[in-house]
């Protein structure tokens, strides 16, 4: 995309899957690559504004199979299989260890990756996410909207209901909604979206969160209608080496508060000590 000339987009083959990825090379900085896991149904381009602000950080994001530019698999993959695929992608790209950021559904995958592949995860950032099925649910109407891919297939639908679904700045900032829509790519088929729902169905991390060793930064929006703030407190309570920061926004604060969030991320990843 012409607005992001420093971000390289390409496809690679990993374990039989065609993976669509984007990489922003920060040069010779010694810090590990930051691997981003996106929210459910969201293509990698929606993270570009944040990636652009993470100067001095090597950043990597990919569309999981069935989302964005990655073809859907014949059979659904559980989070454990997607975490393993992520580890193989890092190996394919010669990235021995990474810092990991997971947003919303991607936060579940980030927890699974940190737990199953701890040698490849130095630090962990969990944004607008939860421990899975053991969680405090959002409003019923909002959770129902989450189960449908219509918000990605119909731009008009998202423009009308973005404020209700995501809360925060998107409730009264139509320009921000349009900016998000300009980057969002509708899936070629809703199958990948349903595969993602299957991947996290009946999944929870609550029984092993206490075993996570990585320094962990938890970011949460106070006005998040999808995942109420109590979920972040639940994560913070169970992850030993964690720090919680509350933000005055809704679910998509990585997009709406990108400048603020970028500074928080850099401060955490560049810090020599644990949070």
- pLDDT of 18 > 60? The answer is yes
pLDDT at site 148? 62
- pLDDT of 86 > 80? The answer is yes
Assess contact for 142 and 162: CB atoms under 8 A. Answer: no
Cα diameter, the chain: 47
CA angle 119, 49, 73 (to 5 degrees): 55
Assess contact for 110 and 80: CB atoms under 8 A. Answer: no
Rounded CA separation 111/127 (Å): 11
Sign of the Cα torsion 207, 210, 211, 212 reads positive
Q: Which residue in 18, 70, 86, 104 is the catalytic one?
A: 104
- pLDDT of 275 > 60? The answer is no
Name 149's Cβ contacts closer than 8 Å, sequence gap at least 6. Answer: 41, 187, 190, 193, 194
Average pLDDT (3-22) is 95
Q: Which two tokens stand for residue 129?
A: 């996410």
Shortest CA distance to 176 belongs to which of 254, 255, 259, 103? 255
Q: Which two tokens stand for residue 46?
A: 């929606």
Rounded CA separation 220/242 (Å): 13
pLDDT digits (tens, 9 = 90+) for 170-212: 888 989 988 998 998 877 778 888 899 899 999 999 999 999 9
- pLDDT of 139 > 80? The answer is no
Average pLDDT (12-32) is 89
b/e string for 124-135 if b means 16 or more Cβ within 10 A? bbbbbbbbbeeb
pLDDT digits (tens, 9 = 90+) for 34-60: 999 999 989 999 999 999 999 889 999
Rounded CA separation 54/248 (Å): 21
Name 21's Cβ contacts closer than 8 Å, sequence gap at least 6. Answer: 9, 10, 11, 12, 44, 60, 61, 62, 63, 89
Shortest CA distance to 138 belongs to which of 111, 102, 173, 104? 104
**Dihedral over alpha carbons 258, 225, 205, 234 (to 10 degrees):** 90
- CA 143 to each of CA 43, 64, 115, 162: distance values in angstroms, whole numbers, following the listed order: 20, 22, 27, 13
| Residue 148 is a catalytic residue | no
- pLDDT of 122 > 80? The answer is yes
Assess contact for 105 and 39: CB atoms under 8 A. Answer: yes
Q: Give the length of the chain.
A: 275
Please give the model's pTM, rounded to 2 decimal places. 0.94
pLDDT at site 144? 60
Sequential DSSP letters for 134-203: SS----HHHHHHHT-THHHH-HHHHHHHHHHHH-GGGGT-HHHHHHHHHH----SSTHHHHHHHHHHTT-
Kindly indicate the confidence band of residue 20, based on its pLDDT and cuts at 50, 70 and 90: very high
| Domains of the chain as residue ranges with CATH | 7-270 (3.40.50.1820)
- CA 14 to each of CA 11, 64, 220: distance values in angstroms, whole numbers, following the listed order: 10, 11, 32
Shortest CA distance to 232 belongs to which of 132, 128, 140? 128
Rounded to the nearest 10 degrees, the angle between the axes of helix 191-200 and helix 79-92 is 110
pLDDT digits (tens, 9 = 90+) for 208-242: 999 999 999 999 999 999 899 999 999 999 999 99
pLDDT at site 153? 62
Kindly indicate the confidence band of residue 109, based on its pLDDT and cuts at 50, 70 and 90: very high
């Amino acid at each position: 995309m012409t607005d992001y000339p420093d971000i390289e987009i390409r496809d690679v083959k990993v374990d039989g899957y065609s993976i669509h990825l984007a990489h922003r090379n920060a040069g010779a900085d010694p810090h590990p690559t930051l691997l981003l896991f996106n929210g459910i149904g969201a293509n990698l381009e929606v993270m570009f504004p944040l990636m652009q602000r993470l100067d001095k950080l090597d950043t990597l994001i990919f569309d999981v199979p069935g989302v964005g530019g990655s073809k859907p698999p014949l059979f659904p993959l559980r989070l454990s299989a997607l975490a393993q695929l992520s580890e193989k992608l890092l190996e394919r790209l010669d990235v021995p260890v990474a810092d990991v950021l997971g947003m919303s559904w991607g936060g579940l995958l980030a927890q699974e990756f940190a737990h199953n592949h701890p040698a490849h995860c130095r630090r962990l950032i969990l944004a607008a996410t939860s421990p899975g099925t053991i969680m405090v649910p959002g409003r019923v109407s909002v959770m129902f909207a989450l189960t449908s891919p219509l918000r990605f297939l119909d731009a008009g639908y998202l423009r009308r209901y973005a404020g209700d679904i995501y809360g925060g700045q998107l409730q009264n900032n139509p320009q921000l909604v349009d900016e998000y829509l300009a980057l969002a790519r509708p899936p070629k088929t809703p199958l990948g979206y349903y595969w993602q729902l299957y991947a996290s169905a009946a999944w929870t991390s609550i029984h092993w969160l206490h075993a996570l060793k990585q320094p962990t930064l938890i970011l949460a929006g106070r006005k998040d209608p999808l995942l109420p703030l109590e979920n972040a407190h639940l994560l913070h309570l169970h992850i030993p080496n964690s720090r919680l920061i509350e933000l005055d926004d809704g679910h998509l604060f990585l997009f709406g508060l990108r400048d603020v969030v970028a500074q928080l991320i850099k401060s955490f990843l560049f810090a020599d000590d644990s949070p």
